[in-house]
Structure 1
Amino acid sequence: MYKWNEFLTRRADFTPEQFSEYWTNVHAPLVMSVPGVRKHAIRYVQQHNTGLVPEGVPAAPYDGVVEVWFESMETFQAIADSENWDAALKDVDNFADTSKTVVLITTEEVVYEQ
């Protein structure tokens, strides 16, 4: 199992609330219109920054994190090759500063689960 983690920073002209509203109500439906997402993604999650940070720990410089679970790099490529994928990618420019976006593809090693 693989996970696509994309760290997003809002555009300078967006408040945190505007960023979250657009990401949830405009961008997410566009992503879900990509046929490959419904067919190949196992899970799609948006994590919105709460602004809460434990004392003594530096805050991450991101406004949100996207997580997409998929079985293999081939299934991720099937998503990327799907209709509407380019439109979903281009839409990120409408709410995020893509010059600050970073991606981390991971596999999970579960250490503890209840």
Structure 2
Amino acid sequence: MIKMTMLLKRNPKLTQEEFVKHHIEKHGPLFRQIPEAKDHVIRYLQTHPIKEKSAVIGVNDFDGTAELWFDSVDGLDKVLSSDFYKEKVWPDELTFLDHANTLVMLGYQDDIIGDITELK
């Protein structure tokens, strides 16, 4: 299993509120429709910043994150090279993301605290 973590920057034409609404209400459901995702995506989470600021930690200025777990690199490749992704999902990303300033990392995950089986 591999994890893709994306630190998202919004299209500067959108407000933060417009970006979050689009990401949750349009992009998430659209991504879920990718036929290959049913076979290869294990989990997909979106996170958006809170308004409150911490007194003890500073944060970078990202507009959200997307975390996707895939069964393998091959599975990721199949999802992101699928016709549905290329024809529907990618064009949608271009409307609300600033791809040039969005960061992507592929890796594996080690549970230190909160193994998913412990949280049930």
TM over 0.5: yes
SS in 1 for 2:47: strand
- The structure-2 alpha-carbon separation of the partners of 1:51 and 1:106, relative to structure 1 and needing over 3 Å to count, comes to farther
Q: Residue 60 of structure 1 aligns with which residue?
A: 60
Structure 1 residue 106: deviation in Å?
Answer: 1.6
Measure, in 2, the Cα distance between the counterparts of 1:52 and 1:65.
Answer: 17
SS in 2 for 1:35: coil
Mapping for residues 31-70 of structure 1, pairs under 5 Å: 31-70=31-70
Measure, in 1, the Cα distance between the counterparts of 2:5 and 2:44.
Answer: 10
Q: Residue 100 of structure 2 aligns with which residue?
A: 99
- When structure 1 is superposed on structure 2, of 8-17 and 51-60 the one drifting more is 51-60
1:35–1:83: 8 Å Cα contact kept in structure 2?
no
Indicate whether 1:4 and 2:17 are aligned. Answer: no
Q: Residue 75 of structure 2 aligns with which residue?
A: 75
Q: TM-score, normalised by structure 2?
A: 0.85
- The structure-2 alpha-carbon separation of the partners of 1:105 and 1:53, relative to structure 1 and needing over 3 Å to count, comes to farther
Unaligned runs of 5+ in 1: none
Measure, in 2, the Cα distance between the counterparts of 1:47 and 1:99.
Answer: 20
Q: Deviations over 1:70-94 (max 9, x none)?
A: 1211111121232311121221121
Q: TM-score, normalised by structure 1?
A: 0.89
Which stretches of structure 1, 4 residues or longer, exceed 4 Å deviation after superposition? none
Indicate whether 1:110 and 2:111 are aligned. Answer: yes
Amino acid in the other structure paired with 1:51: K
Amino acid in the other structure paired with 1:108: Q
Measure, in 2, the Cα distance between the counterparts of 1:60 and 1:51.
Answer: 13
1:8–1:64: 8 Å Cα contact kept in structure 2?
yes
Measure, in 2, the Cα distance between the counterparts of 1:81 and 1:15.
Answer: 30
Q: How many residue pairs align between the two structures?
A: 114
Q: Report % sequence identity.
A: 25
